[in-house]
Structure 1
């Protein structure tokens, strides 16, 4: 299933997480695996898989409480290196 998750678009991921078809953690783990597998390409200067998992767990906790997830709830993002980050 993890390979299939990385093929989904933003809406499908958001709706799948909100509907309980899969968890935000499962999505984050699938995308983290893709980033790690492509490490030789140097596509990311800084990878933060642990932060992705923390954010995913927070989304899953909100869903478990029945709270609103937001428009991007459970959707991982990759940022181009032109932004300053900590």
Structure 2
């Protein structure tokens, strides 16, 4: 806040995964959202972020967003950040 005004959100690429992890979800639901095949099996007929997954696999050799979001989730759960936020 500045002089009683709420400042706009400042994007921080390094904290993106933290933001993605914070939606009040369980880890299993988050896994399903990121890639339903991880939960339902490789033959599951639906994909959530196919274009992103394909792009990152080409660029990084992995679905990078999935790894970063789940790592952020695990870190925030382990260090008590979720508990501090009432989750």
What TM-score, normalized by structure 2, do the two folds share? 0.29
What TM-score, normalized by structure 1, do the two folds share? 0.29
Q: Pick the structure with more helix per residue.
A: 2
Relative contact order higher in (CA < 8 Å, ≥ 6 apart): 1
